[in-house]
Amino acid sequence: MFGMGARPLDEDPRPIKPATVRRVVRTFSPYKKKVAVVGLAIVITAGLGVVNPLLIIAVFDRALFGGLRVMQDLRNALYRHLQEMPLRFFTTTRTGEIQSRLANDVGGVQSVVTDTASTVLSNTVTIVSTIVTMVIISIPLTILSLLLLPLFLWLTVRVGKARRVVATSTQKTLADLTAITEETLSVSGMLLSKSFGRQSFEIGRYREENERLTGLQIRQTMIGRSFFALIGFFFSITPALVYLVAGWVNSNHVHPVILSGMLVGFTTLQSRLFFPIGSMLQVSTDVQSSFALFDRVFEYLDLKHDIVDAPDAEPLVDVRGSVELDHVRFRYEEPAADVVPISPEAVPTEQLREWTLDDVTLKIEPGQLAALVGPSGAGKTTITYLVPRLYDVQGGAVRIDDHDVRHVTLESLGEAIGVVTQETYLFHDTVRRNLLYGKPDATQEELEAAARAANIHGKISELPDGYDTVVGERGYKLSGGEKQRLAIARVILKDPSILILDEATSSLDTTSERLVQAALEPLMQGRTTIAIAHRLSTILQADVIFVIDRGRVVERGTHDELLTTSGLYARLYEQQFQDQVIEPDSSLR
């Protein structure tokens, strides 16, 4: 079947003879220079194949990791800046908005930076080397290939600006969605929606905002797609244009003639060039869009810190605990420059109140228990905000041990003052970690001693894991009184020289109130205490009572002294305890 004289297929081939090899080499010898050039080109081409992996290594080891470090530094700087913002900022800004700036905005910037680093580096090398080679082959054909590139660059800038506008709206909507999530899926928000039967409303509100976000994201993605499709179309037909021009040049005998090898090589370079150019144009629009995210991050970083250490600030040392407000004036919001003041004659006198605190002067001696009493909104809590310098006064001065708090370091001021508020905040962490917030290096014995002093050690011992029990979101595994006593134990560990009690028992039942008052007794011993309370029974033994009304101190004195004046204090006392026999609460002394 192989034919006459055919060799069977399974027979071993004849060995290569050295003479045959020599004859083959002699055949190529007239073209040895050209063969050497081809060989060199092959070696260079093979070597260039190693460049891409090396570039990838460089990108990952330097650019990408360096980019991630930049984002880490940016996130740290933003968090540090927010930690130093005054309380005013947090009372006027939603928590979800702040979280969105830290997570969504910085995260969006990070993805653009890391993707851009690798894309720009690799594509730049490809584009530059390819264009140089194309110029060497044919300058006219190179100009033809890149003729519309300036127009594309201009259109890219326009598309980038449009995407930047949409990106800003997208991030704002994402922040709104984050805020809704934070507010409604917290324990407090969930209790509210369930108790009012508003789950369907919240679901609808979330769905509506989510639909708006999705629409913006789709719009952001689709902006410029037709433009990039046009670019792709132009790049796909450019090789045909090059062949057309080359054919016209050769057919009309225009010099220099474009050789077929030159033409094939040039169009090959074109195909190598167009993809990275398109990728770079896409990256350009992404980078422009990312500036919307940078703007939002920098907007927070540019916020002014109102409460900072003065250049001449000194630490408080050997704090005795005297507290003085000297002709203090304060209001939370400065009037806008374009707001025309209302004529006093146009508003009833009882409604006029320019200042939250107006010319307030009071003095509390070291170790005294001072009570702040007055109607809701009178300015009592504001006074307790000014002492630890959560806000700065607009007039007068607040002094501790005769030192203006504006000339005292914030760190030492924070160490000297302890606060127990009505709304106790506990971290979603263990009892131990919550207590250690007051003294990070406290021993187990110190923790137990503070808990016993606050009448909470017994309850902690009954918990499943004792001091290592997780208290839940905002401490919701504990009752209101238990949370308050845990907060008191935390302040006992801190051992401040000045104690502020901001209505610490007003939301508790009678039993819990008595337990908390008993826990306060060891905390108040030997330190200056400023107490706010609507329940007058908690301040009957105060050394001095300051009655605040509409931002002014209208009365001062002891309980007995103020009852004899038949003033505001006496009226408040009568309204609350008209049908009760009130005995002094000895636990407060």
Burial of 76 by CB count in 10 Å (0-12 exposed, 13-18 middle, 19+ buried)? exposed
Q: Is the pTM of this model over 0.75?
A: no
Q: In the sheet that 552-557 helps form, which strands lie side by side, from edge to edge? A: 417-421, 498-502, 528-532, 369-373, 544-549, 552-557
Q: What average pLDDT is seen over the chain?
A: 78
What residue spans in the chain does CATH classification 1.20.1560.10 cover? 31-153+225-301
Q: What is the pLDDT of residues 23-47, one digit of tens each?
A: 766 776 776 776 677 677 666 665 6
- Judged against a pLDDT cut of 80, whether residue 539 lies above it is answered with no
Q: Which of 46-50, 494-498, 549-553 is predicted least confidently?
A: 46-50
The rounded distance, in Å, linking the Cα atoms of 372 and 392 is 20
Q: What is the pLDDT of residues 285-295, one digit of tens each?
A: 777 777 788 88
Q: What is the pLDDT of residues 295-312, one digit of tens each?
A: 888 888 888 888 899 999
The band of 320, judged by pLDDT with boundaries at 50, 70 and 90, is very high
Q: What is the pLDDT of residues 502-511, one digit of tens each?
A: 876 665 667 7
Whose structure tokens read 């005297």?
322
Contact 423, 477 (CB under 8 A): no
Q: Where are the alpha helices (DSSP H) in 59-198?
A: 65-83, 87-91, 95-100, 106-137, 139-145, 149-184, 187-195
Contact 488, 523 (CB under 8 A): yes
The b-or-e profile of 216-234 (16+ CB within 10 A means b, else e) is: beeebeebbeebbeebeeb
Strand-pair category, 357-364 with 323-330: antiparallel
**DSSP labels for 133-153?**
HHHHH-HHHHHHHTTTHHHHH
Query: Quick one: which of 260, 396, 274, 415 has its CA closest to 324?
Result: 396
Q: Which residues, at least 6 apart from 143, have a Cβ–Cβ distance to it below 8 Å?
A: none
Task: Please state whether 321 falls in left (phi above 0), alpha (psi between -120 and 50) or beta.
Answer: left
Give the distance between the most distant pair of CA atoms in the chain. Answer: 141
Strand-pair category, 403-404 with 395-400: antiparallel
Average pLDDT of span 147-159: 76
DSSP3 helix / strand / coil % (the chain, rounded to 5): 60, 10, 30
Please, what is the angle between helix 199-222 and helix 149-184, to 10°? 170
Contact 220, 170 (CB under 8 A): yes
Average pLDDT of span 240-267: 71
| CATH for the 323-331+352-588 domain, from 1.10.3720.10, 3.20.20.140, 2.60.40.10, 3.40.50.300 | 3.40.50.300
Task: Please state whether 396 falls in left (phi above 0), alpha (psi between -120 and 50) or beta.
Answer: left
CATH code assigned to 31-153+225-301: 1.20.1560.10
CA distances from 415 to 233, 311, 372, 493, 573 (A): 68, 20, 23, 12, 35
Q: What is the pLDDT of residues 461-497, one digit of tens each?
A: 998 899 999 888 877 788 888 888 888 888 888 889 9
The neighbouring-strand residues paired with 330 are: 357
The rounded distance, in Å, linking the Cα atoms of 242 and 265 is 12
- Judged against a pLDDT cut of 60, whether residue 128 lies above it is answered with yes
What residue spans in the chain does CATH classification 3.40.50.300 cover? 323-331+352-588
Q: Which residues, at least 6 apart from 138, have a Cβ–Cβ distance to it below 8 Å?
A: 258, 262, 266
Q: Which residues, at least 6 apart from 142, have a Cβ–Cβ distance to it below 8 Å?
A: 131, 134, 135
Q: Which of 52-56, 161-165, 556-560 is predicted least confidently?
A: 52-56
Q: Residue 146 CA to chain centroid, in angstroms?
A: 44
The band of 346, judged by pLDDT with boundaries at 50, 70 and 90, is very low
pLDDT score for 289: 74
- Judged against a pLDDT cut of 80, whether residue 407 lies above it is answered with yes
Copy the structure tokens of residue 445: 């014995």
341 backbone dihedrals φ, ψ, rounded to 5°: -60, 145
Q: What is the pLDDT of residues 67-98, one digit of tens each?
A: 767 777 888 888 899 888 888 888 888 888 88
- Judged against a pLDDT cut of 90, whether residue 393 lies above it is answered with yes
371 backbone dihedrals φ, ψ, rounded to 5°: -110, 140
The rounded distance, in Å, linking the Cα atoms of 208 and 206 is 5
- Judged against a pLDDT cut of 50, whether residue 153 lies above it is answered with yes
Query: Quick one: which of 89, 88, 90, 81 has its CA closest to 385?
Result: 88
Average pLDDT of span 410-419: 90
Q: What is the pLDDT of residues 215-235, one digit of tens each?
A: 888 887 777 677 777 777 777
**DSSP labels for 415-480?**
HHEEEEESS----SSBHHHHHHTT-TT--HHHHHHHHHHTT-HHHHHHSTTGGG-B--GGGTTS-H
The neighbouring-strand residues paired with 528 are: 498
